[in-house]
Amino acid sequence: MSALPELRPGAARIRASYLKLLLECVRRLPDAESAEILNRLGTHIAAVEDSTRVDWLPYEVPVAFLSTADGVLGREGLRALYLSATRFLLHGNLLAPLFSAFANLFELSPERMFRSAPAGFASIWRDAGDIGIKSVASGCVVLHHSPIPEVLRVSTFLEATAASFEALPVECGRSASSQVEFDGGDAARYIIRW
């Protein structure tokens, strides 16, 4: 059993359940890619596997996943991996009740689903900034993310986060794309179109 990485007060952290889903998605990749990512991640895998689903893990663990996946899969592969993990998350233990409630109470639409984006992000991340809905229009939503901790102001985190939000229109049967606007400060905008 490995020791979990130290959690520091006020430092960004992520729910272990999301990283467990991400690790499952990595293991479903073609053998060569999966083996390369798992080999490079080393002790970070043990930290995820030794944690419970409700544990919080420090930002170093997801940052290692991001940089490793980007190095092995390239940027589009990284985005596809995080989209896949978020789709699994919508049907998993953590967000399934919220997703089921939306599906049962309302006709699923991207616009309605994006109303849950701030709560969904907050259930996965702590001290990683807040997500707010800037605007919603037919076929497009703009999300505002701030303040983003300096350790997460990297393109891999921002691109993976944007790609994760594509899961909402995809779950409604729509094709989706996303882009990030980041000026180097502590805020970003995610523009998701479907």
Q: What is the pLDDT of residue 8?
A: 84
Predicted confidence band of residue 3 (pLDDT cuts 50, 70, 90) = low
Helix (H) or strand (E) holding 120: helix 117-124
- Residue 177 CA to residue 192 CA, distance in Å, equals 6
Q: What is the pLDDT of residue 139?
A: 96
Contact between 187 and 146 (Cβ < 8 Å):
yes
DSSP string, 67-87: HHHHHHHHHHHHHHHHHHHHH
The residue-averaged pLDDT of 26-36 equals: 97
Could you say which DSSP state residue 8 is in? -
Question: For the segment 97-155, what is each residue's pLDDT rounded down to a tens digit?
Answer: 766 776 677 778 899 889 989 999 999 999 999 999 999 998 999 999 999 999 999 99
CA within 13 Å, CB half, 102: 20
Q: What integer best gives the mean pLDDT of the chain? A: 91
Helix (H) or strand (E) holding 155: helix 155-165
- Residue 126 CA to residue 10 CA, distance in Å, equals 9
Exposure b/e, 39-63, CB count within 10 A at least 16 = b:
ebbeebbebbeebeeebebbbbbbb
The residue-averaged pLDDT of 29-58 equals: 95
Question: For the segment 139-177, what is each residue's pLDDT rounded down to a tens digit?
Answer: 999 999 999 999 999 999 999 999 999 999 998 899 999
Q: Please indicate whether residue 92 or residue 70 has the higher confidence score (pLDDT).
A: 70
- Residue 48 CA to residue 42 CA, distance in Å, equals 11
Q: Residue 154 is encoded by which pair of tokens?
A: 């990297």
Q: Does residue 1 carry a pLDDT above 60? A: no
CA 169 vs. chain centroid, Å, equals 15
DSSP string, 37-70: HHHHHTHHHHHHHTS-TT-EEETHHHHHHHHHHH
Q: What is the pLDDT of residue 25?
A: 95
Q: What is the pLDDT of residue 95?
A: 59
Domains located in the chain, CATH noted = 13-90 (no CATH), 111-193 (3.30.1380.20)
Question: For the segment 183-194, what is each residue's pLDDT rounded down to a tens digit?
Answer: 899 999 999 999
Percent of the chain with pLDDT over 70: 91
